[in-house]
Every structure is written in structure tokens, then in C-alpha cells.
Amino acid sequence: MSLRIPFLIVCASLALTIAGPSVSAETRRVVLLFDERVELPGLSLLDAEFARTLQANSVDPIEVYRESMDLSRFGSDTYKSALRDFLRTKYADKKIEVAVAVMVPAFEFLSNFGKLIFPGTPVVFCGLDRKQLRDRPLPPDWYGVLVKREFAPTLDIVLRIHPKTREIVVVAGTSEFDDTIFAQAQNEFRAYESRVAFTYLYDLPFQSLLPMLSRLPSDSIVLFTTFFQDGAGKPFIPHEVVERISTAASVPVYGFADQYLGRGIVGGSLYSFVSHGADTAKLVLRVLSGDAPSQAVSEVPSNKVMFDWRQMQRWGISEHSLPPDAEIDFRELTLWQTYAWQMALIFGVIVVQAGLISRLLYEQRRRRYAEVQSRQRMSELARINRFSTAGELTASIAHEINQPLGAIQTNAETMELLLRSPSPDIDEIKEITADIRRDQERASEVIRRLRSMLRRAPFELSDIDLNELVRETEDFLSGLAVSRQVELSSSIAPMPLPIRADRIQLQQVILNLIVNAMDAMADMPKSERKIAIRTTRIDRFADVAVSDTGPGIPPEKAKQVFEPFFTTKAQGMGIGLSIARTIIEAHGGRIWADNQTTGGAVFHISLPLT
């Protein structure tokens, strides 16, 4: 317990330190008195910026009250008196520290009733220009920010952007405020009368104004000042007027106040309600902090060169023709600007994807090239292997050729004898000649087969019947089987086995298997040397099995026999089966070795049927 008390004290003092000024901060109160309704565009811009600047720069919380006095529509003295009493009652219990008068009528109202409604409260005013203030003496705790309205800078900008302009059409209203502004503008324009012609449209009824503006010649420009009342005395809301005017006008419309930007004017050097709101708030802050300026009234230029991007597009005005300090609002962002990061992401993904695709294509080409190369190598190696097989076949080939040659010789001798007789038997001679031709063909066939076996040929697929190929290979090796004293038999599937294969290479595989089987049985008694070749169809595959009655393959070597250079033979190279596997795999097939239950090895080849 004794430890807890100092701990709580530390926490409490820490909390106070962290909370800082907000603990001691007291709420300050400011009231804004608008001559009109605060929702009017210019006033609402001023109000928003005023509140934002005030809150952003104040340590203390500030409560802002607003009064829309609507004095141009309800300007009777009775209303004003009632309003005075109402406000007095309303704010009697609130300690207002600054009352702000916005625009001339509000200034007048506070001049008359301020002391009564907010006794002892300092007043800040804004929205008046120097002329409107005249030389009126101000009470001691009154401060103001004056508006500097300028019209010539907009005209300079117009003449810069549209150098061919010959006529300026000035549109203005007829209210007291309109008149003041209009007079000021006309005064500034006098200096330009030698350069362009001026037409002032200020006393027309609104309805006849629009058709006139729609028929203006292309070398004219419209300047809009203010329009609270038309020539027929009808009240208007200026920002609605400017919208309708710029829609109807056949030429661009320029203005002087930023509240009309976005409502149809192209732009100009615009008096900014936004800046004026900020300047007024800064002055209020000084008064609140007790640091009121020694000079009660200041005049801050608050014009900004601004343009509406959409109007620029409408009238074909390029960005390059604008003054360098111009600000462009309402820019319609391009897809890139609106979705910058998303687009960058998509673009990045596309680039990465394109990179991947080209990498894959490159790899695919490389693989194809490697495949072609490996096939070429395989073909070369296979050919070498065929030469070595041919070496083994030499004896049987010689035997195969010798047989027909011997028969030819015997037949030739017989024919000689017949020809020596006085009446040779022509029919017999014909028979003998036919025999000689047949034997010659047999010998030629042996040579042709050998040639085709040793031919240098690229890997080439064609449609063949596996049964036929097996039969042919068996024939080819029949001589070798005789010389090796091996019984070679075959069992061929009853149905054709169509496959797509390289005839020479596939024959070489079967040949290798049969010769290997013969090798394996070399040490067996002659009567037991048997090789059986069998073709079958299993589902969608053609199967060839070459079985022998040799010692078989030790089970642990069943896979190893296909490895390159594996051999158990004294003169062996150990490449026959590895080439066989490569060839079969290049045909999309499988090759494997097994042992028969009855003894001896069996080699299987399985190839897809077409």
C-alpha cells in the first residue's frame, strides 16, 4: 500500500503533462454575420476556408456561429430591428470574443447595432473595398481586411490568349452592388479603348440578353462582372446567371471572382473568396490572442490566375497560351492519372508476364534445338551401334549370300551342259534362267537390307505395322540364328498393330534384343537355346516381347542394363540397350526387362497405337 500512493501521484502528474494545454484550454467563440445566405457559392467558399484556417492555427478549441441575415431580400428597418433584438437575446449568455461582418450590408448592420448585440466585443470585417469603406472613422476595436478588386488583369489575360479579339462585351447587373462593381470595371477598361471596342450590356432584361450573346461574332469575348438584378429590376442569383450566359454565348466568357469558376467562365485573374476567408481568419486569430494589428485596416491582394480545364477544352484553349502562374481546376484526369498505381501495377504485371512469356518461348526454342541435337546424336550413336551389330552378322550374311550364289553356280553349270547337247531343252533352260534370276534377287535382297540398316538417316516417323517389322527382322536374323544354333520362333498378333515409328531405328531395337538374347544363351546347350518373339495388343498399345531361355537378369540389375556402358560381356560396349531405351522413349513408348518364371529373360517394348 505504501508503494501505491506515490505511484498514483506520478501517474496523475504524467497524465496532466501529456494532456497539456487541452486541460487548461478554454473554448473561444466567434460569430460570423453574413449579409446574405451562407450557402451562396462565394460566401460558402469564404466560410469554409475561414473555419479551416481558424481551427488549424488555434491552440484553443473555437466555436464558430453563423448568421445568414439575408439583407438584400429582407432589408426593411422593422426586420433589421427585430433581427437586432433576436440576436441580442440569442447571444446574451454566450461570451462572443470576435464578431465578424462579411460584406458591406453586414458591416453597416454591425456599425448600427454591434454595441447593443455584442457589447464590448471586437469586430473584424471583410468583403469591403477601399471605396466602400471611404474615410469612415472606425471604433477602436474594429479591424478589417479590404478586398482589392481588379479587372484589368483579366482583360490582359484575355488579350494574351485571344490576340485577335476586336470586341469585349461586358455583362453586368443593375443592383446597387452590381453598379459599383460595373463602374469600377468600366473605369479600368478605359485604358484599353484604343486596342479593342467595348460593348456594355447592363440594362437589358435577362431574357433578351441571352439571344444577343448567342449571336456574337467569333472575334469577341464576354466579360462577366456581377448580376444580382437585371435591367427590368428582377432579382437574380449571379452564379445561376453566369451558368446560363456561358451556355448560351457563342464565344468564351471570362470573369473576376473564383466563385464563378466551374460555373461556365473560362477563367481569369480571379478575386479569391478562399484567400479572403483565410486572411480574415488570420486577423481574427490575432485579435483573439490579444495581438491586434496597430493598423486597423489592411488591403491584401487575393487575386489568383485560374482556369476551368473543361471550358479550355470547349473553346480549344491550349495550356501553353496561359500565363505561367495559371492554376487549372476541374481537370479531367486521364485513365493514367486517375488510376496511377493500379495502371502501374497492371503495366508491371504485363511487363513481367511478357518477360516470362519471352523467357518461356526462348526456353522452348532452346529445348527444341536441344531435342533436335540429341536426336541427331542418338541417330549417330544408333548408326554406330548398327555397324557393331552388322559386324556380328557378317558370318550369317556371308552364309545368306553364299547360298544363292552357290545355287546360281550349279544352275549355270547345268545350263552349260544342256547347251552343249545337239537339241537343248529350251523349256528347261528357261526354268534354270528363272531360278538364276530368283537366286540373284535373294542375294541382292540381303545386300539391300544390310545397306538400308547401315544407311545414315535422320529420325523420321512413318506409319508402319509393327507385326510386319517384327517378321522382317526375324527374317533378317534367321541366318544368324542358324549359325548360332538358336531356335528363333515368333507368335504374331492376329490383328495389325499400326504405329508411327522410324522404321530403321525400331528395327535396330528389336535386332539388339534378339542378338542380346543369343549372346546370353551362348553357354547353354544347343538344344536349349530358344528365342520367342511375340507381338500383342494391350489396350491402346502395341507390345513386343523378346524372351529367351538364358540365365536371365539378376533382379537388382533389371534397370541397370539400360544404363550407358553397362556390360557383362568381354567384348561388349554396353550401349545397345541404352540406345534402345532412348529410341523407344523418342517414340513415346516404354521398354523394360524382366525374368520369366520358367527361367530366362524377357524384354518388353510398349508403343502407342495410332
Considering the complex, state which of residue 174 and residue 547 has its C-beta at the smaller distance from ligand ADP. Answer: 547
Considering the complex, state which of residue 92 and residue 570 has its C-beta at the smaller distance from ligand ADP. Answer: 570
Q: Give the whole-angstrom CA distance, residue 475 versus residue 445.
A: 11
Candidate ranges 278-286, 336-344, 476-484, 546-554; the one touching ligand ADP (CB under 6 A): 546-554
> How many residues bind to ligand ADP according to rule CB under 6 A?
20
Q: Give the whole-angstrom CA distance, residue 293 versus residue 290.
A: 9
Considering the complex, state which of residue 111 and residue 567 has its C-beta at the smaller distance from ligand ADP. Answer: 567
Candidate ranges 157-165, 220-228, 536-544, 563-571; the one touching ligand ADP (CB under 6 A): 563-571
Does residue 172 interact with ligand ADP by CB under 6 A?
no
Question: In angstroms, what is the minimal distance from the CB of 547 to ligand ADP?
Answer: 8
Does residue 576 interact with ligand ADP by CB under 6 A?
yes
Considering the complex, state which of residue 121 and residue 507 has its C-beta at the smaller distance from ligand ADP. Answer: 507
Does residue 206 interact with ligand ADP by CB under 6 A?
no
Does residue 548 interact with ligand ADP by CB under 6 A?
yes
Q: Give the whole-angstrom CA distance, residue 373 versus residue 203.
A: 95
Alpha helices in 421-500 (DSSP H): 426-454, 466-484
The DSSP symbol for 192 reads G
Question: In angstroms, what is the minimal distance from the CB of 542 to ligand ADP?
Answer: 21
Question: In angstroms, what is the minimal distance from the CB of 540 to ligand ADP?
Answer: 27
Does residue 561 interact with ligand ADP by CB under 6 A?
yes
Does residue 596 interact with ligand ADP by CB under 6 A?
no
Contact string (CB under 6 A) for ligand ADP, positions 482-521, x = contact: ------------------------------x---xx--x-
Does residue 528 interact with ligand ADP by CB under 6 A?
no
Q: Which three cell numbers stand for residue 25?
A: 484550454
> By the 8 A CB rule, do 32 and 50 touch?
yes
Phi, psi of 143 (to 5 degrees): -135, 150
Does residue 393 interact with ligand ADP by CB under 6 A?
no
Residue nearest to ligand ADP (CB): 576
Does residue 591 interact with ligand ADP by CB under 6 A?
no
> By the 8 A CB rule, do 19 and 54 touch?
no
Considering the complex, state which of residue 191 and residue 395 has its C-beta at the smaller distance from ligand ADP. Answer: 395
Question: In angstroms, what is the minimal distance from the CB of 490 to ligand ADP?
Answer: 16
Question: In angstroms, what is the minimal distance from the CB of 359 to ligand ADP?
Answer: 38
Show the 3-state SS of 526-562. HHHCEEEEEEEEECCEEEEEEEECCCCCCHHHCCHHH
Question: In angstroms, what is the minimal distance from the CB of 488 to ligand ADP?
Answer: 14
Name the nearest CA neighbour of 576 among 338, 388, 344, 343.
388
Considering the complex, state which of residue 196 and residue 558 has its C-beta at the smaller distance from ligand ADP. Answer: 558
What secondary structure does DSSP assign to 52-109, as a single string?
HHHHHT-SS-EEEEEEE--TTTS--HHHHHHHHHHHHHHTTTS--SEEEEESHHHHHH
Please report which helix (H) or strand (E) contains residue 270, including its range: strand 267-271
Considering the complex, state which of residue 497 and residue 579 has its C-beta at the smaller distance from ligand ADP. Answer: 579
Residue 238 has, within 13 A of its CA and on its CB side, a CA count of 25
Q: Give the whole-angstrom CA distance, residue 30 versus residue 64.
A: 5
Does residue 378 interact with ligand ADP by CB under 6 A?
no
Considering the complex, state which of residue 572 and residue 608 has its C-beta at the smaller distance from ligand ADP. Answer: 572
Instruction: Say how many C-beta atoms besides its own lie within 10 A of residue 219's C-beta.
Output: 12
> By the 8 A CB rule, do 111 and 117 touch?
no
Question: In angstroms, what is the minimal distance from the CB of 569 to ligand ADP?
Answer: 4
Question: In angstroms, what is the minimal distance from the CB of 374 to ligand ADP?
Answer: 19
Enumerate residues 6+ apart whose C-beta is below 8 A from 430: none
Q: Give the whole-angstrom CA distance, residue 138 versus residue 120.
A: 14
Candidate ranges 86-94, 432-440, 478-486, 562-570; the one touching ligand ADP (CB under 6 A): 562-570
Considering the complex, state which of residue 471 and residue 604 has its C-beta at the smaller distance from ligand ADP. Answer: 604
Q: Give the whole-angstrom CA distance, residue 109 versus residue 118.
A: 12
Considering the complex, state which of residue 318 and residue 571 has its C-beta at the smaller distance from ligand ADP. Answer: 571
Does residue 568 interact with ligand ADP by CB under 6 A?
yes
Does residue 569 interact with ligand ADP by CB under 6 A?
yes
Does residue 550 interact with ligand ADP by CB under 6 A?
yes
Q: Give the whole-angstrom CA distance, residue 71 versus residue 107.
A: 12
Considering the complex, state which of residue 41 and residue 576 has its C-beta at the smaller distance from ligand ADP. Answer: 576
With the C-alpha atoms ordered 524, 525, 528, 533, is the resulting torsion angle positive or negative?
positive
Does residue 71 interact with ligand ADP by CB under 6 A?
no
Question: In angstroms, what is the minimal distance from the CB of 512 to ligand ADP?
Answer: 6
Does residue 284 interact with ligand ADP by CB under 6 A?
no
Please report which helix (H) or strand (E) contains residue 306, including its range: strand 303-308
Considering the complex, state which of residue 496 and residue 551 has its C-beta at the smaller distance from ligand ADP. Answer: 551
As beta bridge partners, residue 535 has 544
Considering the complex, state which of residue 69 and residue 561 has its C-beta at the smaller distance from ligand ADP. Answer: 561
- Footprint of ligand ADP on residues 261-280 (CB under 6 A)? none
What secondary structure does DSSP assign to 383-443, as a single string?
HHHHHHHHHHHHHHHHHHHHHHHHHHHHHHHHHHHHHHSSS--HHHHHHHHHHHHHHHHHH
Contacting residue, 577, 583, 584, 605, with ligand ADP by CB under 6 A: 577
Does residue 559 interact with ligand ADP by CB under 6 A?
no
Does residue 480 interact with ligand ADP by CB under 6 A?
no
Question: In angstroms, what is the minimal distance from the CB of 454 to ligand ADP?
Answer: 18
Considering the complex, state which of residue 58 and residue 388 has its C-beta at the smaller distance from ligand ADP. Answer: 388
The DSSP symbol for 258 reads G
- Within the chain, what is the greatest distance between any pair of CA atoms? 170
| Binding residues vs ligand ADP (CB under 6 A) | 512, 516-517, 520, 548, 550, 553, 561, 566-569, 572-578, 601
